[in-house]
Amino acid sequence: MNRMLLAILIALIIGAQFPIAQVEGSQPSDLTGVNVAVYDGGEGISSEPRESSAAALYWMFQWMNATVEMVNSSSIKQEGLSGFHIIAVPGGYAYNYYLDLGNSGANAIIDFVADGGAYWGSCAGAYYALEEFEWTEYEETGTYYYGLGLFPGRGVGPIADIADWPNYAMTDVLMNVSNELIDFSQEPATHSIMYYGGPFFETEGVDGITTLATYSSNGMPAMIAFEYGQGKVFLTGPHPEWEEDSFRDGSLWDNQLEEAGSEWNLCKEISIWLASIESANTEPVNLVLIVSIGVLALVLFLIWFSRR
């Protein structure tokens, strides 16, 4: 009996070094259990915002069953983003974000992503995530460097072929349905999405970037995704969060446009990847260790029972 016990102990020690198998959870259908912070853009949006990109992001993530909270620069600077899984930075004006968040707010976001959080950037939120971007319209034309630097490449916008700034229009984006990062097999090959001055992304020569969609107008990346430190980043030039033919996004002004279909399901697939829900439902299981512990418990019980 003592030899058997010794053998099991040796198996425990050896088995603990080798994760033999994994038990994978099913793919989640929504963002239940995920906490999303939507940055208010320095505009003082209420806890239930209306008529903005931030509003659309707020209601979109609510639709995904996430727990959503509007956060301002003060809370980001003072409390960081502890407890959140995703920060969503809306369309607006990236320079205002730079002024509103300052160095401490920017560093809080960078640290949050590097430590395992996720960043969603729409339009201005995408500009703000860049290392540099070129603005191509009016007296503000030039190259700017005040972004977070999450994406080490460059963005360029607005795209005059789609809409002269400050005009907006629907634009077609071609989905990369064969990308290896996010399953788009149920998505149409083309989405018609609201465009309002966002960038395209120069990804050539930048490692680790997955292009999820390209503009049909110029073939340049319109949506990209990548890892940053331990975290994940999604950037989009157009606005898939806006629902041009529905009031469910909390925005009224854009409903004059015609939309061929919603992009919220697309956004949900991207958000599931951002939140790493699949890894939360996938627990590594060491079969050798589990079996050894069970046998050891049985042997110990038999030893105890035989000595009674």
- Chain segment 166-214, per-residue pLDDT in tens: 899 999 999 999 999 999 999 999 999 999 999 999 999 999 999 999 9
Residues 74 and 167 in one domain: yes
Residues 154 and 220 in one domain: yes
Residues 10 and 39 in one domain: no
Residues 105 and 5 in one domain: no
Q: What is the distance of C-alpha 57 from the center of its chain?
A: 12
pTM over 0.85, yes/no: no
Please report the pLDDT score of residue 261 as a whole number.
Answer: 81
Residues 171 and 133 in one domain: yes
Please report the pLDDT score of residue 21 as a whole number.
Answer: 38
Residues 230 and 303 in one domain: no
pLDDT in tens, 233-280: 999 999 999 988 777 888 766 566 776 789 999 999 999 999 985 433
Residues 253 and 294 in one domain: no
Residues 113 and 260 in one domain: yes
Please report the pLDDT score of residue 302 as a whole number.
Answer: 54
Please report the pLDDT score of residue 144 as a whole number.
Answer: 94
What's the mean pLDDT in 12-21?
A: 45
pLDDT in tens, 116-128: 999 999 999 999 9
Residues 34 and 157 in one domain: yes
Residues 12 and 43 in one domain: no
Q: Which domain holds residue 1?
A: 1-20+286-308
Residues 49 and 139 in one domain: yes
Residues 1 and 38 in one domain: no
* Residue 67: C-alpha distances to residues 22, 30, 91 (Å): 29, 11, 21
Q: Greatest CA separation found in the chain?
A: 92
Domain tally, the chain: 2
CATH code of residue 49: 3.40.50.880
